[in-house]
Amino acid sequence: MIDAARARRRGRAIDRPHRFVYPPAVSRPPLARLLLLLALLPCACAREADVMIPPPILAQDERLDLTRAIAERDRGSTVEVLYATNRTPAADGDRAHFTSVPGAAALLGRAAVRLGEPGWSFDDLVASDRTSRAEDDPRPAQVVSIEPFGALGDEAADAAFVAAIDERVARSRTGEAVLYVPGYRVSFNRTLTFMGGWAHYLGRSSAVMTFAWPTGTRVWSYLTDCPRARAFVPDIERLITLVAERSQAKRLNLIAFSCGSPLLADALVALRARHPDDDADALQRRYRIANAIFVAADIDLATFARSQLPALTTIARRTEVYLSEDDVALKVAAFLARASRLGRPRFDELTREDLETLAGNDRLVGIDVTGVYGRHETTGMRGHGYWFANQRVSSDVLLSMVYPFDPAWRGLVHGPGKGLWTFPDDYPERVVTAVHDAAPELRREPAAARP
């Protein structure tokens, strides 16, 4: 729960309902920040094993059954994830599939990801979803095979990629495609297994894709990999265009994490610049982008407010930003950049005009996860991985990817000052009731009605 002092600090934000307003942050002297950075680096190593994320609370409530609408052919422990990657392919037979070395082109393909223990049936997996907790040992996951299509821009490869999207969309009840741009320090397999879990929780009904850009798995890779990744922005731009122009997806939801966020933001800014005469409605018809979601975004706050936001909130129906004052990784990133990050903003870095721009944008939603009940990290720096470690936060992200409803419908409330949305203590009851009422097809059948 948010403590009283923190609540008072937030209460000084601009008092405008339903708008995005940044809270102030407590500054620290440079020497203290440097000591903090040096103290944290040794403990910031990520988990090497490929595992499933904890299930969102929506997958655990007895009133809901997220699997009811899953087609019989998809009822297995293996899911499909589409990928684009600038990584160099690994040697034949190497289970890593791709290295961390940048390649000459963006390659397209699809992967089969097994969720849970080897030999698990679909029923075994679902039973595990209902009982698994964030505090438990994570369940295993594995990329069991990949099917390369070829290079992005090659007609045969593009056609195969689009056909795979359309095949999934054709038997989908919602018809959306989801594209994820990860942060750094993750292997190709880790990114694919991560999105395999999301494909499962989305009810196997979404075409799930990831842009797995090249990055190493060392802490210091941040200093080289994240700046270098800006070179891959044109490929993200081309990938979004391919999906929008040629697939049958009804809408496209985009999500980026950590230093993957500036890559997605820059790609969307570039797409908007392609069509300067198009208004928001025309861009929506062209690209069908429903939500652009930024989680723990390692984006310069002032750059976002002044340069990126106008394009983002024109090309997407809604731009959602998840942030936390307790995100230590972004605290370190802010020290290195000498400017606060979007995912852990400092109120006093913005001008009054900047704040008015943020507060007055109807298409921008800010969600503060500071103090939300549950875990905020599985490994790595404290408070940075909340969107997959925290079962409440992951439920909200899940709904953002499926239903184009506002935060109030999803069970969120305004925090002190009414600037940012946050999670109330009774969030589990609120969100399950909302889904139960809005999606009758997901209601769990009474035991007597089951065969």
Q: How confident is the model at residue 378, as a pLDDT?
A: 73
More confident residue, 255 or 14: 255
Question: Exposed, middle or buried: residue 180 (CB in 10 Å: 0-12, 13-18, 19+)?
Answer: buried
Question: For residues 147 and 140, is the Cβ–Cβ distance under 8 A?
Answer: no
Query: What's the maximum distance between 2 C-alpha atoms anywhere in the chain?
Result: 66
Q: How confident is the model at residue 29, as a pLDDT?
A: 43
User: What's the number of CA atoms in the CB half-sphere (13 Å) around residue 94?
Assistant: 11
Element spanning 245, H or E: helix 233-246
pLDDT in tens, 379-435: 666 789 999 899 999 999 999 888 767 899 999 998 776 579 999 999 999 999 999
The answer, yes or no, to whether residue 42 has pLDDT greater than 70, is no
Q: Write a three-state SS string for 162-194.
A: HHHHHHHHHCCCCCEEEEEECCCCCCHHHHHHH
Name the 3-class secondary structure at 202. Answer: coil
Q: How confident is the model at residue 84, as a pLDDT?
A: 98
Q: How confident is the model at residue 417, as a pLDDT?
A: 64
* Tokens 């005009």, residue located: 353
Q: How confident is the model at residue 357 (pLDDT cuts 50, 70, 90)?
A: confident
Q: What is the mean pLDDT of residues 251-256?
A: 96
Structure tokens at 57: 């609370």
Q: Which amino acid is at 78?
A: T
Percent of the residues in the chain that have a pLDDT greater than 70, as a whole number: 86
Q: How confident is the model at residue 305, as a pLDDT?
A: 94
Q: What is the mean pLDDT of residues 358-385?
A: 88
Q: What is the mean pLDDT of the chain?
A: 87
Q: How confident is the model at residue 418, as a pLDDT?
A: 56
Q: How confident is the model at residue 95 (pLDDT cuts 50, 70, 90)?
A: very high
Q: How confident is the model at residue 446, as a pLDDT?
A: 56
Q: What is the mean pLDDT of residues 81-88?
A: 98
pLDDT in tens, 167-218: 999 988 788 999 999 999 999 999 999 999 999 999 988 999 999 999 998 8
Q: How confident is the model at residue 380, as a pLDDT?
A: 62
The answer, yes or no, to whether residue 13 has pLDDT greater than 90, is no
Name the 3-class secondary structure at 142. Answer: strand
The answer, yes or no, to whether residue 43 has pLDDT greater than 60, is no
pLDDT in tens, 101-146: 999 999 999 999 999 999 999 999 999 999 999 888 999 999 999 9
Which of 170-184, 231-245, 339-353 is predicted most confidently? 231-245
The total number of residues shown for the chain amounts to 451
Q: How confident is the model at residue 26, as a pLDDT?
A: 38
DSSP string of 313-352?
HHHSSEEEEEE-TT-HHHHHHHHHHTS-BTTB--GGGS-H
CA distances 116 to 130, 188, 195, Å, are 13, 19, 14
Give strand pairing partners of 51. Answer: 140
Q: How confident is the model at residue 49, as a pLDDT?
A: 64
Nearest 5°: phi and psi at 71? -65, 150
Element spanning 211, H or E: strand 207-212
